[in-house]
Amino acid sequence: MNQIEFNKFLEKSKKVIAIDFDGVIHNDNLGYNDGTIYGEPIEGSIESIKRLSENYILKIYSCKSNPQRPLINDKTGTELIWDWLENQGIKECIDDVVWGKPNAVIYIDDKGYRFENWNDTLKTLNKLL
Residue 70 has a pLDDT of 93
Q: Are 36 and 80 in contact (CB under 8 A)?
A: yes
* Rounded distance between C-alpha atoms, residue 24 and residue 21, angstroms: 6
61 C-beta neighbours (distance < 10 Å), count: 22
Neighbours of 126 (CB within 10 A): 8
pLDDT value of residue 12: 61
What does the pLDDT read at residue 34?
80
With a cut of 50, which residues of the chain have pLDDT below it?
A: none
Q: Taking the domains of the chain in order of start, what are their residue ranges?
A: 10-108
Residue 10: the pLDDT is 58
The pLDDT, as a whole number, for residue 61 is: 97
Q: Which amino acid is at 85?
A: L
Q: What is the pTM of this model?
A: 0.84
The string of pLDDT tens digits covering residues 106-118 is 999 999 888 999 9
Domain 10-108 - what CATH class?
alpha beta
